[in-house]
Amino acid sequence: MQCALAISDLHLRIAEKAILRGVSLSIPAGQIHVLMGRNGSGKSSLLHAIVGQNSISSGVVTLDGESLLGLPPEVIARKGLFLAFQVPVSLPGVTITQLLRSALQARLEKGKLFDHMRFHDDLEAAMKLMGMDSSWASRHVNDGFSGGERKRCEMLQALVLNPKYVLFDEIDSGLDVDAMVIMVEAIRLLQQRGVGALIVTHHSRWLETLNPNGIHFLVDGIIHRSGGMNLAHAIEADGFQAVQ
């Protein structure tokens, strides 16, 4: 069995338009990969296709050797894929604690009891790491949150739910320098736990501190180039045309 998130020759059409045209990518457990590309190149669509929102036209997505194609989104989520949304929707009246408790209870094996103490400890530890005071636990999910708060809330959920892979859709947009430091720390912690990551970003500068295992450049629905930090440096210096 291969411990990896593997995408092979993925095609996606939405309303007759080819969005993804044969994407292949493999992320071994605990590795961090970065996806870059212009607006409209298909980055978000790829992440959403992996977690089961868009029905894939053809291709293969496997998690640890098991196909995810055609599974309902909640099943894919329970198997260990977490999507940190670019603009997470607000859930008025639903507290962060209620959301996370429900999400964990949905993962509970039949006959097992929910460990409230452990949940409480995990939530507290994650909030501390994310620089959130205790009032956050009873805030309504994303309701009235600033852009930066939404991103931190997504990361908090990833830390508590502890998936196998986290897919971050523009994790860095709207975050100040201090918040970015916290984000990088959280990704590091996840990595230590063996969690892999696929990160969509427009900015290459912060990747220096993240030290990803691979950077992939998406153009018109296909991975045009893959490489290491040198690819990021080239984009940093000369923009996207440097790699196109």
Partner 1 sequence: MSKKLPMDEEFATPGNFSYATEYAHDAGQGLSEETVHYISKVKGEPKWLLNFRLRALRIFNAMPIPSWIPVDLSPLQFDKIRYYLAKGQEPKRKWEDVPAEVKATFDRLGVPEHERKFLAGVEAQFDSEMAYANLRQSLAEKGVIFVDSTEGLLRYESVFRPHFGKIVAAADNKFSALNGAVFSGGSFIYIPKGAKLDQPLQAYFRINAERFGQFERTLIVVDEGADVTYLEGCTAPRFESATLHAAVVELIAMPGAKIQYITVQNWSSNVYNLVTKRGMAHELAGIRWIDCNIGSRITMKYPCVILAGSHASGEMVSISVAHHGQYQDTGAKMIHRANHTTSHIVAKSISIQDGVAAYRGMIKVAKAAKNCKNYTRCDAMLLNRGSISKTSPTLDVSGNLSQVQHEATVSRVSDEQVFYLQQRGLGETQAMGLLVNGFLNELMREFPMEYGVELKRLIEMEMERR
Q: Pairing between strand 214-219 and 222-227?
A: antiparallel
For partner 1, give the closer residue by CB, 186 or 243.
186
For partner 1, give the closer residue by CB, 107 or 233.
107
For partner 1, give the closer residue by CB, 158 or 231.
158
Q: Is 92 in the site for partner 1 (CB under 8 A)?
A: yes
Q: Is 98 in the site for partner 1 (CB under 8 A)?
A: yes
DSSP-H helix ranges across the chain: 43-50, 73-79, 96-107, 116-129, 147-161, 177-192, 207-210, 229-238
Instruction: Give whole-number Cα distances, 204 to 69, 103, 201, 231, in Å.
Output: 32, 33, 7, 9
Distance between first and last Cα of the chain: 36
Q: Is 54 in the site for partner 1 (CB under 8 A)?
A: no
Strand order, beta sheet including 165-169: 81-84, 165-169, 196-200, 32-36, 214-219, 222-227
Question: What does the per-residue mask of binding to partner 1 show for 176-215, with x meaning CB under 8 A?
Answer: ----------------------------------------
For partner 1, give the closer residue by CB, 83 or 195.
83
- Quote the DSSP letter at residue 172: T
Beta carbon of residue 126, minimum distance to partner 1 (angstroms, whole number): 15
Q: Is 139 in the site for partner 1 (CB under 8 A)?
A: no
CA angle 200, 203, 206 (to 5 degrees): 100
Q: Is 88 in the site for partner 1 (CB under 8 A)?
A: yes
| Binder among 140, 224, 225, 233 for partner 1 (CB under 8 A) | 140
Instruction: Give whole-number Cα distances, 85 to 80, 100, 166, 190, in Å.
Output: 16, 16, 11, 17
For partner 1, give the closer residue by CB, 22 or 88.
88
Task: Judge contact between 60 and 8, C-beta under 8 A.
Answer: yes
Q: Is 29 in the site for partner 1 (CB under 8 A)?
A: no
Beta carbon of residue 46, minimum distance to partner 1 (angstroms, whole number): 15
Beta carbon of residue 130, minimum distance to partner 1 (angstroms, whole number): 17
Residue ranges that bind partner 1, judged by CB under 8 A: 51, 53, 72-74, 77-78, 82-83, 85, 88-89, 91-95, 98-99, 102-104, 106-107, 140, 157, 161
